[in-house]
Structure 1
């Protein structure tokens, strides 16, 4: 299938993140069921690439590979025509045509290790990595998923992150941030009993930040763990 250009999208909202927890760590955080498998460690994920997402299956929660950038089930145009749908705004997620059906019926959680934002001037941007303040291996980012079939009948699963206004602490870095759910909210989000009222910025004490390598500014190097070293060159 054709892919859109991730480099053209990463300047908007939350456009890059890391995902390197083990299956056991995701299981402990979200009680996923098997089959147990090795999860690929990713350190610089850009939109339209494949990520892991947790959804409610018929027999329990399961972790499933999905395209990061939601394609609604009703989409009739080519995949390359899909707009930037890797983020969904908390304020409008229940109403926007791209997301409202998934909000009602198909929610997920993206088990991230951290996410990036940038400071500085164009051409000399400094990436900053945001991770759990207590070093927990999983940030439970609220998401939505959908199932789409291309004209040849091939099925594709896709997902989006829900983003909200920033906390006061986050605002110097960006005017949006991912919705990070705590353990008590995970059940209510996945079973649909919670609405937009829980899509709020995380407590300022929940995250920590540090500058990392400017090599993060390029896509295509997401297998490199040295990217997330503090103050890496």
Structure 2
């Protein structure tokens, strides 16, 4: 799974990596993002790729109950994403990329878990496979856009820390993931990272164990 991640890049970095269109934005670094908060999402539009804020935790368009009754939807399993009612429409029509500076996973026993941070070896942003939806809130009458991160089985290297991992989209596959039609072999893109050196890892402060703590504190991702 991926239950906590970071978006601590500049506009120049995410623009260069993902060819985002539009005027430069003052992006606030975030180092401890938790589900249900707002995140940066890259989605395709007619003119190219745009960066928009969305709720982390997908709300399908047909959802009629209060949000507090929604099950956990911040991750979608790669093995079932095409069939699950929560995700299948978004998988077919509304795929996105969620840029990330890195993500966290934990090892150890409950109550004494050690947080590990994972990022790209060259420090550039990661491109996480995502899905997005638009939901109309019947109570407020407002529309809300939301997204989820697609996760799959970990490769052998990552399995030392966790048996699941976010699906990483490689640059040569950005267009295929974002704009591929239903007939395209999208499942071929939802595979574990092929190389053991696709990520680097180090142990970080246990302060990150608490959500909403130090979200703007870059010291959270420093090696301990």
TM over 0.5: yes
Q: CA deviation at 1:121?
A: 1.6
The 5 Å alignment of 1:11-26 reads 13-26=1-14
Q: CA deviation at 1:194?
A: 4.5
Q: Would you say 1:111 and 2:103 are equivalent positions?
A: no
Q: CA deviation at 1:56?
A: 0.6
CA-to-aligned-CA distance 1:63-102 (integer Å, 9 cap, x gap) = 0000000001111111111110000011111110000000
Q: Would you say 1:225 and 2:212 are equivalent positions?
A: no
2:56, 2:152 → 1: CA distance? 18
* Equivalent residues of 1:188, 1:194 under 8 A apart: no
**Structure 1 segments unaligned to the other structure (5+ residues):** 1-12
Q: CA deviation at 1:230?
A: 0.5
Show the counterpart of 2:142. 154
The 5 Å alignment of 1:81-160 reads 81-136=69-124, 138-151=125-138, 152-160=140-148
Worse overlay, 40-49 or 185-194: 185-194
What SS does the corresponding residue of 1:219 show, helix, strand or coil?
Answer: coil
Q: 2:26 aligns with which of 38, 45, 58?
A: 38
Show the counterpart of 1:201. 192
1:66, 1:178 → 2: CA distance? 18
Show structure 1 runs of 4+ deviating over 6 A: none
2:123, 2:47 → 1: CA distance? 31
1:59, 1:185 → 2: CA distance? 18
Worse overlay, 188-197 or 115-124: 188-197
Q: Would you say 1:215 and 2:207 are equivalent positions?
A: yes
- Cα RMSD (Å) of the superposition? 0.9
Q: CA deviation at 1:23?
A: 1.3
Q: CA deviation at 1:62?
A: 0.2
CA-to-aligned-CA distance 1:182-216 (integer Å, 9 cap, x gap) = 11011100002441111111121110100000000
What SS does the corresponding residue of 1:181 show, helix, strand or coil?
Answer: coil
Q: Would you say 1:168 and 2:156 are equivalent positions?
A: yes
1:150, 1:101 → 2: CA distance? 18
